[in-house]
């Protein structure tokens, strides 16, 4: 796991060397073990290394093949690299690293090598003979890759900050990105919060030479999914899930450094730890966050799993004072603004301090196995589409008492869904993921609202009837939406930036592309969560104690509601004040939102406040003007 940088097209060698050196310095946190540069006319490549496999200096990067034609910078891990190495055959390997396997595989197969890789990755290969650059990103989007393309250069990096600090252009706030952020607490790829800076999409690669460039897709979850699995009965589906997940966990235990696992005591992290304990050759190290506030602490459930599998378990006790002390560092570590992240920052810091450089996480289990309420709600709406025959006025009358009774964000969303023209998933899903109600969005963006809904566009392109003929099962349609929106643009991005802030590599077994392809192809009958993540739980059987299976779902969260009103209040108010002084949002709306939160309005939860605090902090820290 590492950080990569590159500039294509600059002719000034001194300028290229200066910029790539600064970009490497900006990624120092991602790779404390080694660094390297290649600077030639027209190309500059930089690398910061976090050594996980084959720790010797020969595996440092940039790595050039024996002929001197191809040079690689690589961020990630290829879990099946030993198998790929045996397929290549005609390459004289100098190391035992997966990095050299990536280089040799590209030389042998070109872009087709991507279809052979099982892993998480973002990498670039420079071809010195054709003077061309190849850049690729993994299928699911676990590893990030940002770029800015101009008429005379391309600059790319594992993070957005080295690009905007490169001095090659003046970074400005992207107004469409702001609209997206206010709606969904993130900006959806390929766009970012900075005008002109893009993300290479998951499952895509770019080729660029002196006369042209092209971006192509090599993996699509819809066409890759094993739709023949629709015919599987529950027993066959459960066996397939267990076998595939066990294989995924086992392959992710390859490391030449100390490793462990995040353990919340929930179904997903417990499943990962159980299979690690079965497979690992030594005692598994596990880590969980605990709180003084018992209502938020998952310590009891984590300990049940730790005791069952006799792990070397560490509880990270967090007080408001501890968190307050870490908040400035967490905000500074944020590479792109988001409503999530500090959770992972805190536990990653503690795990790294314990001497661990790689850990496994349960991220992805909810998205694959219908762990969120939106899965059941979407199915219920589809089954009740007959209600759309009632006039909108009547539906509005029905919605009002429900909204009044619930007095929550969920009540606001219910009213909005009732008023939609269609209850297909591509229409209802975008409402479910909104941070604020449409009225609040309009209020905050007064004068700046372009009314474009990125999540609707994504959902519509992925699953709308007639869009490419991809007829996934209904629950799989929700999974695909989750993977392409919230998971990719919030969870995975935050997990990468907050773990790598401490040079900690996180691996995510649930997002093994082969497991994803199998589960997305399964029918609603075997996946419907009559109980939480029923297919996964039944597949695991006795691996999971009943106390863990039947516990209330808490999620990995902190007591934010209390902290924002107490220990973090000054921080919140100062950032909201600064944000209101900009011309991009309605200052009166920001103040009203904060006052509603302080007064206990159940429609305005902590997450409706925090992501705006993060936005202002990030814009200030990175010198972005509107």
Catalytic machinery residues:
2
Are residues 434 and 458 in contact, defined by beta-carbon separation less than 8 angstroms?
A: no
Side by side, which strands form the sheet with 213-217?
63-64, 70-78, 119-127, 132-137, 204-208, 213-217
Length of the chain: 626
Q: What is the DSSP string of 305-321?
A: HHHHTT-EEEEEEE-HH
Are residues 43 and 135 in contact, defined by beta-carbon separation less than 8 angstroms?
A: no
How many Å apart are CA 137 and CA 424, to the nearest integer?
A: 31
φ, ψ dihedrals at 622, nearest 5°:
-110, 10
Stated as kind and residue range, the H or E segment containing 324 is helix 320-333
CA angle in degrees (0–180, nearest 5) for 70-71-75: 135
DSSP state of 101: H
Which residue's structure tokens are 């999409």? 201
How many Å apart are CA 463 and CA 476, to the nearest integer?
A: 10
How many Å apart are CA 576 and CA 565, to the nearest integer?
A: 14
On the question of a cis peptide bond just before residue 190, with omega within 30 degrees of 0, the verdict is yes
How many Å apart are CA 396 and CA 403, to the nearest integer?
A: 10
Of 119, 107, 115, nearest to 71 by C-alpha is: 107
Alpha carbon of residue 211 to chain centroid: 34
Please state, as a whole number, how many other Cβ atoms lie within 10 Å of the Cβ of residue 429: 26
Q: What is the DSSP string of 46-60?
A: EEEE---SS-SGGG-
How many Å apart are CA 547 and CA 537, to the nearest integer?
A: 12
SS3 content of the chain, % helix, strand, coil (to 5): 50, 15, 35
Give the count of alpha carbons within 13 A of 481, CB side only: 32
Q: Is the dihedral of CA 352, 356, 358, 362 positive or negative?
A: negative
Q: Write out the two tokens for 300.
A: 């009891």
How many Å apart are CA 550 and CA 399, to the nearest integer?
A: 32
DSSP state of 136: E
Nearest-10 crossing angle of helices 409-418, 392-406: 170
Are residues 471 and 445 in contact, defined by beta-carbon separation less than 8 angstroms?
A: no
CA angle in degrees (0–180, nearest 5) for 382-385-388: 145
Give the count of alpha carbons within 13 A of 123, CB side only: 32
Are residues 346 and 328 in contact, defined by beta-carbon separation less than 8 angstroms?
A: no
- Furthest CA-CA distance within the chain: 74
Alpha carbon of residue 194 to chain centroid: 18
Are residues 341 and 392 in contact, defined by beta-carbon separation less than 8 angstroms?
A: no
Q: Which residues contact 317 (CB under 8 A, 6 or more apart)?
A: 290, 291, 292
How many Å apart are CA 584 and CA 581, to the nearest integer?
A: 9
């Amino acid at each position: 796991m590492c950080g990569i940088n590159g500039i294509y097209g600059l002719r000034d060698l001194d300028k290229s060397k200066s910029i790539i050196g600064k970009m490497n310095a900006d990624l120092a946190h991602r790779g404390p073990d080694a660094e390297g540069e290649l600077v030639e006319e027209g190309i500059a490549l930089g690398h910061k290394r976090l050594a996980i496999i084959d720790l010797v200096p020969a595996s440092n990067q940039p790595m050039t093949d024996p002929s001197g034609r191809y040079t690689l910078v690589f961020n990630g891990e290829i879990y099946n690299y030993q198998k790929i190495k045996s397929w290549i055959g005609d390459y004289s390997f100098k190391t035992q690293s997966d990095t050299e396997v990536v280089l040799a595989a590209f030389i042998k197969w070109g872009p087709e090598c991507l279809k052979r890789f099982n892993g998480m990755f973002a990498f670039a290969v420079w071809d010195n003979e054709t003077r061309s650059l190849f850049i690729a990103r993994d299928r699911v989007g676990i590893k990030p890759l940002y770029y800015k393309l101009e008429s005379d250069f391309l600059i790319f990096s594992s993070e957005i900050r080295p690009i905007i600090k490169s001095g090659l252009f003046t970074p400005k706030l992207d107004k469409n990105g702001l609209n997206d952020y206010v709606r969904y607490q993130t900006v959806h790829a390929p766009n970012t919060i900075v005008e002109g800076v893009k993300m290479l999409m998951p499952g895509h690669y770019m080729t660029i030479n002196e006369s042209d460039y092209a971006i192509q897709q090599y993996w699509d979850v819809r066409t890759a999914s094993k739709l023949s699995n629709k015919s599987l009965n529950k027993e066959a589906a459960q066996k397939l899930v267990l076998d595939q997940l066990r294989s995924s966990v086992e392959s992710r235990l390859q490391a030449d450094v100390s490793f462990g696992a995040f353990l919340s005591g929930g179904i997903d992290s417990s499943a990962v730890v159980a299979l690690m304990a079965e497979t690992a050759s030594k005692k598994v190290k596990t880590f969980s966050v605990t709180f003084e506030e018992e209502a938020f602490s998952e310590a009891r459930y984590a300990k049940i799993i730790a005791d069952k599998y006799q792990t070397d378990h560490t509880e990270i006790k967090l007080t408001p004072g501890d968190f307050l002390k870490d908040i400035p560092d967490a905000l500074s570590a944020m590479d792109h603004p988001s409503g999530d992240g500090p959770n992972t920052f805190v536990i990653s810091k503690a795990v790294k301090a314990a001497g661990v450089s790689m850990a496994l996480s349960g991220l992805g289990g909810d998205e694959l196995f219908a762990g969120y309420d939106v899965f059941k709600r979407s199915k219920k709406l589809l089954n009740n589409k007959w209600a759309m025959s009632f006039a909108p006025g009547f539906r509005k009358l029905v919605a009002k008492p429900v909204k009044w009774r619930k007095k929550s964000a969920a009540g606001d969303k219910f009213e909005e869904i009732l008023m939609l023209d269609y209850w297909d998933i591509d229409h209802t899903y975008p409402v479910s993921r909104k941070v604020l109600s449409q009225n609040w969005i309009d209020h905050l963006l007064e004068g700046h609202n372009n009314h474009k809904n990125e999540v609707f566009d994504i959902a519509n392109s992925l699953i709308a009837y007639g869009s490419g003929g991809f007829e996934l099962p209904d629950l799989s349609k929700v999974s695909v939406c989750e993977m392409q929106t919230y998971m990719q643009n919030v969870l995975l991005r935050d997990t990468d930036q907050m773990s790598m802030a401490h040079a900690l590599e996180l691996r995510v077994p649930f997002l093994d592309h082969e497991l994803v392809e199998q589960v997305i192809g399964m029918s609603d009958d075997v996946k419907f969560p009559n109980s939480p993540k029923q297919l996964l739980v039944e597949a695991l059987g006795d691996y999971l104690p009943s106390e863990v299976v039947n516990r209330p779902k808490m999620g990995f969260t902190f007591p934010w509601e209390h902290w924002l009103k107490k220990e973090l209040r000054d921080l919140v108010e100062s950032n909201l004040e600064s944000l209101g002084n900009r011309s991009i949002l309605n200052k009166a709306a920001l103040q009203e939102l904060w006052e509603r939160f302080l007064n206990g309005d159940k429609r305005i939860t902590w997450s409706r406040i925090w992501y705006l605090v993060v936005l202002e902090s990030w814009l200030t820290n990175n010198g972005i003007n509107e």
